Amino acid sequence: MSTSNFLTKDEALGFLAEKLHISFSGPDACRPSRELLQQICSAYCHEIPFTTVYTYNIPAGQRRAETHDEIKRRGLQGVGGLCYYLNVFLHWILVEMGFKVHFQTTTIFSATDNGHLVNIVHLEEDGKRYLIDGSCMPFTSERLICLDFEGPISPTILQTIHEVRVVHQLVDGPADQFAVEFRWANGTGLHPAAKVSADGWIQAIHFPIKYRSLEELPQVLQLGTWYDDPTGILFFSRLFTRRFKAGKIIMVRDTMLTLQDETRKRIDVPITSRRQWLSVMAEHFGDVISMEDLQRTMENYIRLTASTELPDGFCEI
């Protein structure tokens, strides 16, 4: 099921060298090891942002998932995007590097349908399975997420400002079921689309193991309708861009910049003007998102957002 006819090995190596700054000294250095898997996953979420910027600039009714050719072209350019594109391209890269990779669909936060895509790698080196997400829920910026552990709950690991753990849910039936949970590393958790447990844990994604082919994904993920249904429309009404440059979270959500300090504490910095938003985005994401795209995004954001939801004086030049 895990095949790739869209990238060559040379294209994969070129992407790793040019966009992720990973090069190899010899054939042994690029064998499919746990160390290489971590190196690729960390670099991917450090360099390639999850962002709604490009889709935000497409009028409602004209939005759609990328074709395979578009995924390849945009992927090789190293630009950011949404979950489907980011994880399909990462899947192709990992396959070309010799990893055994499967597509896995999941629910996300409080949703009931499969609306999110991840990858699961079976690593021959240790015989274990690793969850790989190169998009909105990476949690692999510092350590891989292993699905094979003793007991119902995995050890808690730190990923930038997040504490992350996996819950192995025992149910009747042949398929393993897992939930990935997180909370802020300072012990509190908050997300508008999810319930928070008494001790701060948020269920980010949930899935029974069921691998999918590339051809199945559009139907399973409902890609033909997601961009125009109420959930998709609500999602694209927000400006959201995130990466983990140098291993530290950098996130812009509408008019809020989120960073982390040396103690892994989350720092929120309000963005109070159009000019500041453009400056912040150019500073942190200008290497992968053009100023032309950013300016068009800000013009659309001001046009589509009620003035009462913007900081006073935000639109002034």
What is the distance between the alpha carbons of residues 147 and 178, in angstroms, rounded to a whole number? 8
Q: What is the identity of the amino acid at 93?
A: I
Which among 120, 133, 160, 134 has a CA at the least distance from the CA of 48?
Answer: 134
Look at residue 101 and tell me if it is in a domain.
yes
Residue 233: predicted pLDDT: 61
Q: Which of 21-25, 181-185, 275-279 comes out lowest in average pLDDT? A: 181-185
Look at residue 78 and tell me if it is in a domain.
yes
The sign one gets for the Cα dihedral 11, 14, 20, 25 is positive
Look at residue 230 and tell me if it is in a domain.
yes
Cα distances from 208 to residues 101, 106, 185, in angstroms, run 16, 8, 27
User: What total of structural domains would you count in the chain?
Assistant: 1
8 A C-beta contact, residue 189 and residue 196: yes
Residue 308: predicted pLDDT: 86
Tell me the sheet residues that pair with 123: 128
Look at residue 315 and tell me if it is in a domain.
no
Look at residue 316 and tell me if it is in a domain.
no
Residue 3: predicted pLDDT: 52
pLDDT at 300 exceeding the cut of 60: yes
Look at residue 139 and tell me if it is in a domain.
yes
Residue 185: predicted pLDDT: 67
8 A C-beta contact, residue 157 and residue 143: yes
What is the CB-side half-sphere exposure of residue 113 using CA atoms within 13 A?
Answer: 11
pLDDT at 141 exceeding the cut of 90: no
Q: At what angle do helices 9-18 and 83-96 cross, to 10 degrees?
A: 110
What is the distance between the alpha carbons of residues 244 and 141, in angstroms, rounded to a whole number? 7
Look at residue 86 and tell me if it is in a domain.
yes
**189 against 86, higher pLDDT:** 86
User: Three-state secondary structure along the chain?
Assistant: CCCCCCCCHHHHHHHHHHCCCCCCCCHHHHCCCHHHHHHHHHHHHHHCCEECHHHHCCCCCCCCCCCHHHHHHHHHHCCCECHHHHHHHHHHHHHHCCCEEEEEEEEECCCCCCCEEEEEEEECCCCEEEEECCCCCCCCCCCCEECCCCCCECCCEEECCEEEEEEEECCCCCCCEEEEEEEECCCCCCCCCCCECCCCCEEEEEEECCEECCCCHHHHCCHHHHCCCHHHHHHCCCCEEEECHHHCCEEEECCEEEEECCCCCEEEEECCCHHHHHHHHHHHHCCCCCHHHHHHHHHHHHHHCCHHHCCCCCCCC
State residue 67 phi and psi, 5-degree precision. -75, 170
How confident is the model over 270-274, as a mean pLDDT? 95
Q: Which of 49-58, 110-119, 142-151, 187-196 comes out lowest in average pLDDT? A: 187-196
Query: Domain range holding 216?
Result: 9-309
pLDDT at 227 exceeding the cut of 90: no
8 A C-beta contact, residue 27 and residue 58: no
How confident is the model over 107-129, as a mean pLDDT? 89
pLDDT at 186 exceeding the cut of 90: no
Residue 2: predicted pLDDT: 46
> Count of CB atoms within 10 A of residue 272's CB?
14
State residue 294 phi and psi, 5-degree precision. -65, -40
Look at residue 4 and tell me if it is in a domain.
no
What is the distance between the alpha carbons of residues 54 and 285, in angstroms, rounded to a whole number? 13
CATH number for the domain including 138? 3.30.2140.20
